[in-house]
Amino acid sequence: MNLILLGAPGAGKGTQATKISDRYGLVHISTGDIFRENIKKGTEIGLLAKSYTEKGELVPDEVTVAIVKDRLTWDDCKKGYLLDGFPRNLFQAEELDKFARIDGVVNINIDPALLMDRLCGRRVCRECGESYHVSTLNGATTCARCGGELYQRKDDNPETVGARLAVYNEQTAPLIDYYTKQGKILNFTGTEAPAEVLFEEVRAVLDKLAG
C-alpha cells in the first residue's frame, strides 16, 4: 500500500505518520526530515535547503522531486510507503504520478486557528521524533516516550510559521481537489483530542483499503 499524508503544518501529520507506518509496515518518507538531516550534516542539499526552510518557503521542485524519485527506487519501498510532506504543490503531484502508483491520500483537516499556537509551542524529541506542546510539558525537557532531548525546530517561530501556512493555503491545499478527482482522498478531521482518537478513525478506513 502506497499512501500520501496531506494536511497543514501543525495538523498532526508526524504523529499519524509514525502510527500508520508502524501499523501497516510502510516506509515513512518525510521530505522535511530528509532536509533537516542534510542541513545537520552540512551536505550540498542541506546548504541549499537551509535558505528555504528557514524562510518557510518550498525547496525548489527539481531538487525535491529528484530526492523522492530516487528514494522510491530503494528496495524497502517494495513493502509500501507513506509520503509525508510530499507532494506539496501541483507540479510535484503531477511528477509523482509519472513514477509512483498511489493507493490513497490521508487528508487531515483542521481548524486553521489552532495552527499558529500549536507550531510555535511545539517541542520535538531529537531521538524518536515525538512532538509535545509546551503547555502540557510542565517544564519537562526530555521525551516521556524515550528520554531523548526535546528541542524547538528553527522554523517553529511566528514569522516562519506564517509563511509556511501561506504556502500551504496557496500551493498545497489545491492538492485536496487534485486527489479528490482521482478518487483517492480519505478525509479526516484533526481535533484537540489525543492522537490515538484520530488514528482509530484512520485505521478503520485503511484496514479496508489494505484489504
Query: Closest CB to ligand ADP among 160 and 202?
Result: 160
* Residues β-bridged to residue 151: 124
- Give the nearest distance from C-beta 123 to Zn ion in angstroms: 11
Distance of alpha carbon 110 from alpha carbon 124, whole angstroms: 20
With CB cut-offs between 5 and 8 Å by kind, which of Zn ion, ligand ADP, none does residue 64 bind?
ligand ADP
Is residue 52 within the footprint of ligand ADP (CB under 6 A)? yes
Residue 171 carries which DSSP code? I
**Residue whose cell numbers read 509519472:** 98
Among 66, 74, 97, 145, binds Zn ion (CB under 5 A): 145
Q: Is 71 a catalytic residue?
A: no
Task: Evaluate whether 152 touches 144 at the Cβ level (below 8 Å).
Answer: no
User: Minimal CA–CA distance to 105: which of 195, 211, 16?
Assistant: 16
Is residue 165 within the footprint of ligand ADP (CB under 6 A)? no
Distance of alpha carbon 186 from alpha carbon 195, whole angstroms: 17
Selected catalytic residue, list 36, 118, 123, 164: 164
Distance of alpha carbon 105 from alpha carbon 124, whole angstroms: 25
- How many residues touch ligand ADP under the rule CB under 6 A: the total is 17
Query: Which residues are marked as active site?
Result: 13, 88, 122, 153, 164
Binding positions for ligand ADP, rule: CB under 6 A? 9, 31-32, 35, 52-53, 56-59, 64, 85-86, 88, 92, 155, 164
